[in-house]
């Protein structure tokens, strides 16, 4: 096989000279010093490997990566840089980067990545050649060669992301494409909860259709050999975000005829189950069936990593004591909700409250009892708010609740319910003596379209809270602008 052709885009002369000297005996090299030159070379030639600095005159190495992948998804791209952020690494992954090396890197480290990229490129080229050289009469061999090529492409795609929704979309799309069906499904466990994902199903399905899908998923999960050994929380509703690829789809009813289910195994246990329906068993070839089992095996680790990444992200946004969202997560969410209200003209309410006389509770009963009070309130807010609501610990003994699509009248009902629930709780001191706590709450609402900032809407709720304290505590006061 001919030498692979490498494009090196690097504006530092000494590094360029080093890279060319290192690689020119084994590869054909084209070198450029800025992004516009790199773009011109990519237009003219499909390179096997591209090595590009991240920061260069005339643009970014990410621009070079994107252009190369537009021309051929099989081009291997190695980015080298003296700086890097999580954002650039994530974007590079999504675009299909091969390697990401931080300067200074060792000669061995760099050359090993080039060899790995070259090997990957050769595998892709040979996969295509194998299909071409197998005679037409050997249909089975040609089918298996295509499976190998499909597996290669599939692995390339799932390696580009750590997002669980993107990986699940790729899996379910692959099933729909290869089985030639309109809709496919996945039920998968995350901790002790089961989640149902759909592909090709409208977000606006009826309650009856929603129940039908969940019932089928539950039935299939209960058929798995581990079911009696583990207890799971079964879903009662498929959330809109779990209807993947739901835009511009016409399918609103799932017809479960002959069911095909494929377990996804992880560490010897069933981690999830893919399923879809056919008119009859004979609609699926043996080769395609084998392929589906192979991609389920290949996907298990990627999905496990994605859910672990999701869990880690959530933990970073949770308050360690109460289990509620923390202040940083609240600020991000309120920004999103204000923008959504401005665009969709749907009301937004905000409740800010704190525990009355909390310092006295700490001074009288001790900080451990004070922590128990905070934990109990966190539990109440987690269990007594809607899925769309966003309760958070604002700081110290202060809590805040974002209520999307909620007007001031509805918000007042929620605020009073929270106040009454907390007042009705019985707490114990270290001697077992019971005591109660109360809270004061400030409520405000925003309906757009006038502009408002995070600071403004929080100040409104804070003013109302101050008024509730001034007027005797243990009450809700609505902000009057």
Q: What is the pLDDT of residue 381?
A: 95
| Averaged confidence pLDDT in the chain | 86
Q: What is the CATH number of the domain that holds 343?
A: 3.30.70.270
Please tell me whether residues 438 and 348 are part of one structural domain: yes
- Tell me the mean pLDDT in the region 432-457: 91
Q: What is the pLDDT of residue 245?
A: 79
Residue 317 belongs to a domain: no
Residue 459 clears pLDDT 60, i.e. is over it: yes
- Tell me the mean pLDDT in the region 231-258: 78
Q: What is the pLDDT of residue 127?
A: 64
Residue 187 banded pLDDT, cuts 50, 70, 90: very high
Q: Indicate the number of domains in the chain.
A: 3
Residue 4 clears pLDDT 80, i.e. is over it: yes
**Bigger pLDDT: 223 vs 103:** 223
Please tell me whether residues 377 and 280 are part of one structural domain: no
Instruction: Show the domain range for 461.
Output: 327-478
Q: Please list the active-site residues.
A: 397
Domain end marker among 259, 288, 312: 312
Closest CA to 303 of 187, 225, 213, 184: 187
Least confident of 79-88, 125-134, 373-382, 387-396: 125-134
Is residue 5 within 8 Å of 45, Cβ to Cβ?
Answer: yes
What is the percentage of the chain residues whose pLDDT exceeds 70? 91
Q: Which residue has the tokens 């990410």?
A: 62
Q: What is the CATH number of the domain that holds 240?
A: 3.30.450.40
**Bigger pLDDT: 457 vs 80:** 457
Residue 15 CA to chain centroid, in angstroms? 37
Please tell me whether residues 423 and 355 are part of one structural domain: yes
Please tell me whether residues 142 and 183 are part of one structural domain: yes
Q: How far apart are CA 323 and CA 382, in angstroms?
A: 8
What is the percentage of the chain residues whose pLDDT exceeds 90? 40
Highest mean pLDDT among 111-125, 262-276, 390-404: 390-404
Please tell me whether residues 332 and 283 are part of one structural domain: no
**Bigger pLDDT: 280 vs 62:** 62
Residue 355 belongs to a domain: yes
Residue 464 belongs to a domain: yes
Least confident of 127-141, 185-199, 221-235: 127-141
Task: Give residue-wise pLDDT tens across range 282-316.
Answer: 778 888 888 888 889 888 888 888 888 788 777 78
Residue 463 belongs to a domain: yes
H helix runs in 255-357, sequence order: 286-316, 327-344
Residue 258 clears pLDDT 60, i.e. is over it: yes
Domain end marker among 76, 110, 129: 129
Q: What is the pLDDT of residue 132?
A: 65
Residue 455 belongs to a domain: yes
Q: What is the CATH number of the domain that holds 34?
A: 3.40.50.2300
Please tell me whether residues 423 and 288 are part of one structural domain: no
Please tell me whether residues 300 and 446 are part of one structural domain: no
Residue 227 clears pLDDT 60, i.e. is over it: no
Please tell me whether residues 104 and 58 are part of one structural domain: yes
Residue 358 banded pLDDT, cuts 50, 70, 90: very high
Residue 407 banded pLDDT, cuts 50, 70, 90: very high
218: Cα within 13 Å, side-chain hemisphere: 14
Task: Give residue-wise pLDDT tens across range 12-55.
Answer: 888 889 889 989 888 999 999 999 999 999 999 989 898 988 88
Domain end marker among 81, 98, 129: 129
CA-to-CA separations, 224 to 19, 187, 243, 261, 300, in angstroms, rounded: 54, 12, 24, 10, 16
- Tell me the mean pLDDT in the region 386-390: 88
Task: Give residue-wise pLDDT tens across range 151-184.
Answer: 777 777 777 777 888 899 999 999 998 888 989 9
Q: How far apart are CA 218 and CA 214, in angstroms?
A: 6
CA-based R_g, the chain, Å: 29
DSSP element (H, E) containing 393: strand 390-395
Residue 323 clears pLDDT 80, i.e. is over it: yes
Residue 182 belongs to a domain: yes
360 exposure class (CB count in 10 Å sphere: 0-12, 13-18, 19+): exposed
Please tell me whether residues 332 and 263 are part of one structural domain: no
Q: How far apart are CA 275 and CA 260, in angstroms?
A: 5
Residue 318 belongs to a domain: no
Please tell me whether residues 30 and 173 are part of one structural domain: no
Residue 73 banded pLDDT, cuts 50, 70, 90: confident
Q: How far apart are CA 77 and CA 31, in angstroms?
A: 14
Residue 365 belongs to a domain: yes
Residue 409 banded pLDDT, cuts 50, 70, 90: very high
Structure tokens at 342: 């401005």
Task: Give residue-wise pLDDT tens across range 82-117.
Answer: 766 656 766 776 676 777 777 777 888 888 888 888
Q: How far apart are CA 329 and CA 337, in angstroms?
A: 12
Q: How far apart are CA 135 and CA 141, in angstroms?
A: 9
- Tell me the mean pLDDT in the region 128-142: 68
Please tell me whether residues 375 and 453 are part of one structural domain: yes
**Bigger pLDDT: 131 vs 28:** 28
Work out whether strand 5-9 and strand 49-53 pair parallel, antiparallel, or are unpaired: parallel
Residue 229 clears pLDDT 60, i.e. is over it: no
Least confident of 27-31, 283-287, 321-325, 351-355: 283-287
Q: How many CB atoms lie under 10 A from the CB of residue 153?
A: 14
- Tell me the mean pLDDT in the region 204-226: 87
Is residue 235 within 8 Å of 214, Cβ to Cβ?
Answer: yes
Is residue 468 within 8 Å of 477, Cβ to Cβ?
Answer: yes
Q: How many CB atoms lie under 10 A from the CB of residue 117?
A: 22
Please tell me whether residues 282 and 308 are part of one structural domain: yes
């Amino acid at each position: 096989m001919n030498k692979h052709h490498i494009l090196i885009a690097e504006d530092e002369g000494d590094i360029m000279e080093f890279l060319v000297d290192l690689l020119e005996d084994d590869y054909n090299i084209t070198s450029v010093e800025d992004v516009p030159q790199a773009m011109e070379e990519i237009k003219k030639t499909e390179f096997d490997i591209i090595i590009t600095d991240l920061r260069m005159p005339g643009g970014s190495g990410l621009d070079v990566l994107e252009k190369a992948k537009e021309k051929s998804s099989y081009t291997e791209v190695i980015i080298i840089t003296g700086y890097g952020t999580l954002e650039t690494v994530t974007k590079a992954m999504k675009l299909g980067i091969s390697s990401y090396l931080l300067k200074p890197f060792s000669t061995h480290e760099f050359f090993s990545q080039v060899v790995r990229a070259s090997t990957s490129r050769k595998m892709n080229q040979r996969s295509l050649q194998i299909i071409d050289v197998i005679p037409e009469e050997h249909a089975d061999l040609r089918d298996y060669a295509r499976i190998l090529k499909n597996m290669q492409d599939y692995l390339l795609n799932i390696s580009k992301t750590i997002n669980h929704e993107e990986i699940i979309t790729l899996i379910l799309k692959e099933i729909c494409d290869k089985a030639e069906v309109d809709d496919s499904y996945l039920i998968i466990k995350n901790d002790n909860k089961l989640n149902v994902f759909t592909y090709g199903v409208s977000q606006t399905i009826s309650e009856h259709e929603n129940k039908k899908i969940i019932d089928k998923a539950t039935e299939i999960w209960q058929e798995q050999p581990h079911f009696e050994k583990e207890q799971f929380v079964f879903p009662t509703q498929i959330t809109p975000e779990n209807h993947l690829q739901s835009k511009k789809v016409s399918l609103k009813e799932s017809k479960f005829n002959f069911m095909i289910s494929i377990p996804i195994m992880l560490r010897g246990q069933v981690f999830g189950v893919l399923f879809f329906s056919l008119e009859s068993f004979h609609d699926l070839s043996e080769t395609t069936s084998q392929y589906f089992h192979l991609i389920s095996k290949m996907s298990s680790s990627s999905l496990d990593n994605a859910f672990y990444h999701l869990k880690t992200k959530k933990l970073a946004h949770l308050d360690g004591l109460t289990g509620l969202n923390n202040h940083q997560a609240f600020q991000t969410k309120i920004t999103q909700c204000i923008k959504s209200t401005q665009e969709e003209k749907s009301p937004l309410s905000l409740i800010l409250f704190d525990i009355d006389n909390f310092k006295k509770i700490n001074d009288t009963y001790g900080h451990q009892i004070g922590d128990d009070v905070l934990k109990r309130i966190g539990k109440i807010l987690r269990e007594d708010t809607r899925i769309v609501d966003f309760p958070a610990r604002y700081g110290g003994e202060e809590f805040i609740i974002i209520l999307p699509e909620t007007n001031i009248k509805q918000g007042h009902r929620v605020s009073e319910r929270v106040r009454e629930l907390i007042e009705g709780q019985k707490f114990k001191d270290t001697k077992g003596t019971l005591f109660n706590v109360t809270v004061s709450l400030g409520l405000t609402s925003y309906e757009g379209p006038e502009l408002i900032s995070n600071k403004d809407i929080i100040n409104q709720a804070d003013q109302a809270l101050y008024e509730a304290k001034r007027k005797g505590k243990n009450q809700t006061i609505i902000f009057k602008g």
